Structures are given as C-alpha cells and as structure tokens.
Amino acid sequence: MAKRLFVKTYGCQMNVYDSSRMADVLAPLGYGPAEQAENADMVILNTCHIREKAAEKVFSELGRLRKLKAAKAEAGGRMILAVAGCVAQAEGEEILRRAPFVDIVLGPQTYHRLPEMVAQAARAGGAVLDTEFPAEPKFDFLPEPHAEGTSAFLSVQEGCDKFCTFCVVPYTRGSEYSRPASAVLAEATKLAAAGVREITLLGQNVNGWHGEEGWSLGRLIRELAEVEGVERIRYTTSHPRDMDDELIAAHAGLPQLMPFLHLPVQSGSDRILAAMNRGHDRAAYLRLVDKLKNACPDLALSSDFIVGFPGESDADFEESMALVREVGFVQTYSFKYSSRPGTPAAAMERQIPESVKEERLAALQALLLEQTTRFNHACVGREMRVLLDRPGRYAGQLLGRSPYMQPVHVKAAAHLIGKVVSLRITKVHPNSLEAIPA
C-alpha cells in the first residue's frame, strides 16, 4: 500500500531544496506526498537553527506530533517521526532527550541514507541518530531530482568558512563544499527537459562556489545559460567578499541572469561589521555595489540586516538606516540579533535589550516598506519579461514573476504557463503588480 510522507520545512531555501530531495530519496520506498501530518505515515521536520525562535518552534511542533503519533498507534498504525536539518545537527542528543518519541534524527549531510534509517527505525525499538559529516558527499547518492513547475532550486554549494561571529551555519553545515560543475550542469539539463525555465542556484556562500576545473560561479552561470530551456538564472546567498569580476561580468553580459541580487551586508556600521567578522567594511560594500550597477544598470539589490548586535549603539543603527537609503535596497530580510550558544557573539558584552531591538527592527522595516513601495511604483509603465507559472485567482488570469521576483498578474491564455513573455506593468496592488501584454 502506498505510504504517505509529510515534510514540514523551516528556514532557508536550502532547506526547501533539501526537503524535496528527501522526498525523492523516499519515493522508491513507496512514499508519496501527504497533504498534512494528520494522515501521514512518516513526518519529517526539516529544521532551522539560525535564530532561537526557529529552533524553539521545532519543540512545540514535536509536542503536537506526539499526540498524532499516539493516536495513530492506538488505531493500530505507525507514524515514523524524523527531525532533519540544522537543529538536528546541532542538538541531536537534546532532541532525543526532550522528545524520546522521535524515531530518526538526521543532519543535513546524511539524508541520502534515509532509506536505511527508515528500515532501522522500523526494526529497532530505539531511535536512529545520524549527524555525521560523511566522507561521501550526499549528492553522489541522491536519485534524479523530479521537477515540479517552471522554477526550481539547484544546490551547488554548502557550508561556510566565514565564521561571522553571530552565526551557527559554519557549525551546523560544516566547511565549504562545491559540487562539481558537471553534476550541476547535468542536473540543470534534466530540470530544463522536465519543463523548468528558471533555476536558482543555492548555497550558503553560493558565490564561494568553485569548480574542480578552476571555474568560479560566473563561469558556471555562463555554461548554465547555454543549457537548452534554461531561460532565467538566479543565485543566492552571496557573500560580498566572494563577488569576483567574472561574476560581475556575468551580470553585464548574460540576459538569462536576472538583475536582482541578494547580497547581505548585515550592518552599515564599520565597528559592528568588524565585530561581526564580516571581512568587509561599509566602503568596500558600496564600491562593490557601484561595480555591479555599472555592469548592470537595471540591477536591484536586497540584503539581510541584523539589528541589536551586541554593542550596537543608536549611531551604529543609524548607519544601517543610512546604508539602506544609499544603496536603495528594494527588499531586505531584517532580524533581531538572536544569541546562539557556542558563537563568539553570544559571549560579547553589551547585549542589547529586546525592547531596543524591537524598535530598531520596526524602524528598519518601515523604511524598507517605503523603498519597496517606491520601487514597485517606479515599475509602472516598464516593460518586463515575466515567467508565467500558474493560473491566477480569477478565470482567464495568469500569475508570474518579474525579474525582481514581484508577483505579476495578467489576462492571458492558460497555454502560456511556462513561458517567459513581455508584459507592460500597469498598476501596483498591495501584494502584486498588474500587467498587460507589451
């Protein structure tokens, strides 16, 4: 009988990718998708450890799942419960202690071994824990990815050697690893053949990717642009320090590379950037933005910001606000600093009170909302290439994404789904843009 798998994903796009690959790994065992945990035979929580709140959510969700699992057992069935991802990696033992009803705990580097773990869990009474960093890269053992829709993630790089003082990623994801170019291009070719038109290359330090052939990410993107059917390319998340000339040149010369770049800066204050161990200052970031905008005048930027990093004064915070204006970010993800056990920043003096963090976050987000709105209005009248990817809310309407990831709706025939079309933006709605054929 077919079994049903429910995967709940927390955190970043890398986890979204990993979740779909875990489903691919389990498909040969007869697992198909379940709509919700309630009727699943196996539930995987793919977790995020980046901030305390994200990690704590996992434990409250486990409390809920415990009841579902017990109900299922009472009815004579069985639910296998797995915790995957970065909380599993960092707190595997703790999970088994606090939630002994969990069957499997696996880190982000071992999910190619899931079938063995499931078999083991079915046999054994106790839990299976696998949070190794195995010598064999998991990518060599994963089945073919299966594509759904017109846009897909493709993981090319994992791990981080940068050791920003606030961040757990170097500990949970390990050191930087790049997949070989040949494997990436083969996966892209399969995705394109299955109807994918837009590929987003993923990595914790995606532009730190380097191929065995001595290629950098710019070169990989050039090769990817040659793959038949690949019409749009994006990459995320980049580090300013790894932004080399070849990648900047790709922004100038490749129409497939979308003019929208997520380039986290974290803070606008040199003092805080140094305490964060970012390896660049404000001026270096601004020089980089200049170079990128020279290469691609249409480029729009987004960033991550942390407010309330230990020692951040009002003046430091004002420098972040000023940088947001100066760069003209059209989007940001901003976070209150969250102290993570084991990171250097957790031990720093002058931790900032929660109320101050909240005020700063609200101010930054208000400024960003203003800038995003201004950018959206500036798009009215512009012609944009939009990838139409699904039916809209109303009959005869399709939804798609602009080069800047804005949702766009247009009256168009259903056969255009999966096509990149030229549209003229006519109106700004609260959560989308409206367009007509150009």
The site for ligand SF4 (CB under 6 A) is made up of 160, 162-164, 167, 169-170, 204-205, 239
Q: Scan for tokens 């019409």, then name that residue.
A: 231
- Chosen residue from 15, 216, 238, 266 binding ligand 5AD by CB under 6 A: 266
Q: Is 163 in the site for ligand 5AD (CB under 6 A)?
A: no
Query: C-beta of 87: minimal distance to ligand SF4 in Å?
Result: 16
Taking the complex as a whole, the smallest distance from the CB of residue 94 to ligand 5AD amounts, in Å, to 18
Q: What six digits make up the tokens of 420?
A: 């990149």
d(CA 11, CA 238): 17
DSSP class of 230 = -
CB of 264 to ligand SF4, least distance (A): 7
* Distance in angstroms (rounded) separating the CA atoms of residues 381 and 378: 8
**Collapsed DSSP state (helix, strand, coil) of residue 274:** helix
Helix/strand/coil percentages in the chain, nearest 5: 40, 25, 35
Which CB, 52 or 136, lies closer to ligand 5AD?
Answer: 52
E strand or H helix at 158: strand 157-158
CB of 207 to ligand SF4, least distance (A): 11
State in angstroms the smallest separation of the CB of 360 from ligand 5AD. 12
| Out of 17, 111, 335, 404, the residue judged to bind ligand 5AD by CB under 6 A | 335
Of 238, 149, 200, 204, the closest CA to residue 403 belongs to 200
164 is in an annotated binding site: yes
- Residue 379, marked binder: no
167 is in an annotated binding site: yes
209: enclosing H helix or E strand? none
Query: Binding ligand 5AD by CB under 6 A: which of 150, 205, 338, 406?
Result: 338
Least distance between ligand 5AD and beta carbon 419 (Å): 33
> Is the separation of the CB atoms in 116 and 164 below 8 Å?
no
Stretch of 136-144, 279-287, 334-342, 390-398 contacting ligand 5AD, by CB under 6 A? 334-342
**Tokens standing for residue 313:** 């004064």
**Site size for ligand 5AD, by CB under 6 A?**
12
| Contact of residue 220 among ligand 5AD, ligand SF4, none (CB under 5-8 Å per partner type) | none
Residue nearest to ligand 5AD (CB): 304
Pick from ligand SF4, ligand 5AD, none: which does 170 bind, CB < 5 to 8 A by kind? ligand SF4
Among 55, 58, 306, 368, binds ligand 5AD (CB under 6 A): 306
- Note whether 398 and 436 are within 8 A (CB): no
Annotated ligand binding at 296? The verdict is no
* Closest among 99, 89, 19, 8 to 49, alpha carbons compared: 89
Contacting ligand 5AD (CB under 6 A), which of 138, 210, 340, 357? Answer: 340
Taking CB within 5 to 8 Å according to partner kind, which of ligand SF4, ligand 5AD, none is near residue 306? ligand 5AD
* 177 touches ligand 5AD by CB under 6 A: no
384 bridge partner residues = 423
* Strand 383-391 to 397-401 pairing: antiparallel
Give the residue among 204, 98, 224, 113 at the shortest CA–CA distance from 159: 204
338 binds, among ligand SF4, ligand 5AD, none (CB under 5 to 8 A by kind): ligand 5AD
CB-CB contact of 85 with 166 (8 Å): no
User: Of the listed pieces 173-181, 208-216, 310-318, 333-341, which binds ligand 5AD according to CB under 6 A?
Assistant: 333-341
SS3 153: strand
Q: Which does 50 bind (CB under 5 to 8 A by kind): ligand 5AD, ligand SF4, none?
A: ligand 5AD
Exposure letters 196-225 (e unless 16+ CB within 10 A, then b): bbbbbbbbbbbbbbbbeeebbbbbbbbebb
Kindly provide the residue ranges of all beta strands, DSSP E only, lying in 245-380, ordered along the sequence. 260-262, 300-307, 331-336
By CB under 6 A, name the binding residues for ligand 5AD: 50-51, 166-167, 264, 266, 304, 306, 335, 337-338, 340
Binding residues for [4Fe-4S] cluster are 12, 48, 86, 160, 164, 167
